[in-house]
Amino acid sequence: MATLGVMTERGIAGLTTREIASRVGISEGSIFYHFGDRKGLIKAVFDEALRPLWQFRAVPPGPPSTVDELRDGLRHFVDGVAEFLESGLDVMLAAQADVTLRNETFAVMLENDYGPQRGIDALTGYISSAQESGVVAGSIDPQAVAQILIAATFLPAAQPRIVGHTRGLVDPERILDSVMGLLAPPPSPADPPVDDQGRSMSTPVARSPHSTVTTST
C-alpha cells in the first residue's frame, strides 16, 4: 500500500495526502473522498495488514482431531500474526515519533478495537476447541497459551526494529514445539506388568513389621 511505502521511505514528514496521491497517480481529492483524512489512511493500512487475521477469524479451522492438526492450525495463525506485524508494526513504531500521528493511530486502534486482544481472542477460541475435542489437556489455560504465542511472535518482529539486531532470539519452530509440549496431554501409562499370581510387579508386596528375612550362610 502506498501509505505504508511513504512512511517506510520518507518517514512521518512524508505522510501527506498530497504525497499519497502522487504515489498512486490520482488526485488528492480522490484520497479525501475514499479515506477522509490521515486517520482514514492509517485505518486502511491496518485493514490491509490485518487481512490474514480476519481470514482466520472469518473461517477458523475446525477443532483439530490430532496433535499434528493442532500444530498446523497454530502455525497458520502464528504466520498470520507475523505477516501483520511486518506492516502494522512499522506504522505503530513510526507513529511514536510524532505526537499528533501517535494520537491519531491510537484513536484508530481504539475506535476499531485493533490490538493484540483480537489475536488472543481468536487463538483462545481455537485452543479451547482443541481442548473440547480432547487434543489439548484440560488443565491448560487457553488464553494464557494464546498470549504466550502472540508475545513470542511479536518479539522477533519488534527486536530488530527497536535494537537493530536479532541476537538471542529463539527459532519460532522451537517455540512452537515447546508450546505443543505444554498443550498435548501426557500419554496414558501402560498397564504395569504382573507376576504369575496376577499381582502388579510395580507395587512392592507389603510385609508385616514383625516378619524377618533369613539368608543362608
Question: Domain for residue 24, yes or no?
Answer: no
Average pLDDT, the chain: 77
Q: For residue 163, give its domain range.
A: 38-183
Question: Domain for residue 205, yes or no?
Answer: no
Question: Can you list the alpha helix ranges (DSSP code H) found in the chain?
Answer: 2-10, 17-24, 28-35, 38-49, 51-58, 67-95, 99-111, 116-132, 142-162, 172-183
Question: Domain for residue 199, yes or no?
Answer: no
Per-position DSSP letters for 77-104, written without gaps between them:
HHHHHHHHHHHHHHHHHHHTT-HHHHHH
- The answer on pLDDT for 94 being more than 50 is yes
Mean pLDDT lowest for which of 66-75, 187-196, 208-217? 208-217
Residues 64, 133 contacting (CB under 8 angstroms): yes
Residue 42: CATH number of its domain: 1.10.357
The closest alpha carbon to 123, from 160, 169, 176, 174, belongs to 176
Question: What pLDDT score was predicted for residue 108?
Answer: 82
Residue 215 banded pLDDT, cuts 50, 70, 90: very low
Length in residues, the chain: 217
- The answer on pLDDT for 56 being more than 80 is no
Q: Tell me which residue has cell 501426557.
A: 186
Question: Domain for residue 50, yes or no?
Answer: yes
Question: What pLDDT score was predicted for residue 53?
Answer: 60
Question: Domain for residue 12, yes or no?
Answer: no
Residue 73 CA to residue 56 CA, distance in Å, equals 10
What would the pLDDT profile of 138-149 be if each residue is shown by its tens digit?
999 999 999 999
Question: Domain for residue 49, yes or no?
Answer: yes
Count of structural domains within the chain: 1
Question: Domain for residue 198, yes or no?
Answer: no
Residue 15 CA to residue 40 CA, distance in Å, equals 12
Question: What pLDDT score was predicted for residue 4?
Answer: 60
Mean pLDDT lowest for which of 6-20, 64-78, 95-109, 199-213? 199-213
Output Rg (C-alpha) for the chain, integer angstroms. Answer: 27
For residue 147, CA distances in Å to 78, 127, 186, 199 come to 11, 12, 22, 47
Question: Domain for residue 23, yes or no?
Answer: no
pTM here?
0.68
